[in-house]
Structure 1
């Protein structure tokens, strides 16, 4: 019977005979499944039924030689299964999608292919399609002025440009532009500098104390000259966020200087013009006026 009209079997079925009864047995060929009943065998492409048993994020196709089902993860997915079990996982969840450790892995809206984008504070120094994320401060000083130090914001990792000692910021279109400070000292005065131990101090964070009320901000920084015979004539402080601050309040005497910032900040450096023999001053305490 199998030699006549394939024994009445579906064209995608193999016709054979039962070993005991010799009746016709129809069996779907490799790559096909029965969508009919036990008695009426209807063979359809296995990929049309439950995606051929493949993962929902896989494409079902057929082997060119055997016609067996082949499951291939779609673009943007990788096989995280074992052996012959194909399990397709978002590529970004496996080794960051192959992206640099300082890159964010996402997907192209059209193709779903992996897209590697350098995180804030990093720039791509790779070639072609290879994304290599390097600290922005290591590339052209992060875009900062040549007389500025490039650092990163502690919260966002964005670039922060701070003028180096001896330079002051004259903003140009929102950018930090550092020009050299030229100071002609009055007779009897000299430059004094903050004890380097206190560079990097924070408010809040450093030793707290009391401070006078100031319209210049709520966060106070109390500086005191070493020795007893030197007074502060003017002061210049550089903060991470506030930048250069020169306004001060002097109480209870001119060997003290209170400088204020609008928000909590980090002190990067400070210098002063003083009258007297001492050339160093300390950060005594920080405070917050209410």
Structure 2
């Protein structure tokens, strides 16, 4: 035993205090260390730089519905691993790992409740579940949410967050693009509004389908929104892209997004839009 260990063992040092691993969080925007509790109480928005952090489906639904109360709608069952896909892991193993780390069975969860006193169905994509990727389960859940909105005679609000189509389902994932588009057309024929909230990130096949078909397009500040990645576009056109390209504010300035709304104002904004759009439909 070394002399330093003998001294340490002989002296009455106080035991080391254990600090919870989740006490602090580092802001992805400004790199400031924030108390996790304060950060979450601020709706996962950095109080210093206003960076809007990514949040899960349950937190999002609780923020949007009145008094945080809502009914989670059952997700339709779909065939898993239809292509028997395998890369470095089997697709069922990836699904199993994603489900172990998330509260829901796949990347889109529907809730039914009231927003500002108005009944609505809200569908939220969970980016933490395989990057919010759109496969058959997401497509089926989206269509089921639309059908419930038609049945309830209320709007459907889609909160998007996705890296695009789910590669493990190949062409079957791409088929969800026209499938969800047809469902939106049915909602419109039923006379109900369709509102989209674009959050960070919304890309790929989701952007190329239901994420850009809203009667009103809302985006959170700083959200990355696009189809192909910036580097791919730059290499294709061989030109330097403008500053802030594919960010919510740039898209708003160029007419692709109707409004950029801070998370603190999102629920109130949705309530006003639903009130206006449902009144217009009834008139």
Task: Choose between structure 1 and 2 for higher RCO, CA contacts under 8 A separated by at least 6 residues.
Answer: 2
Greater share of strand residues, 1 or 2? 1
TM-score (ref. length: structure 1)? 0.24
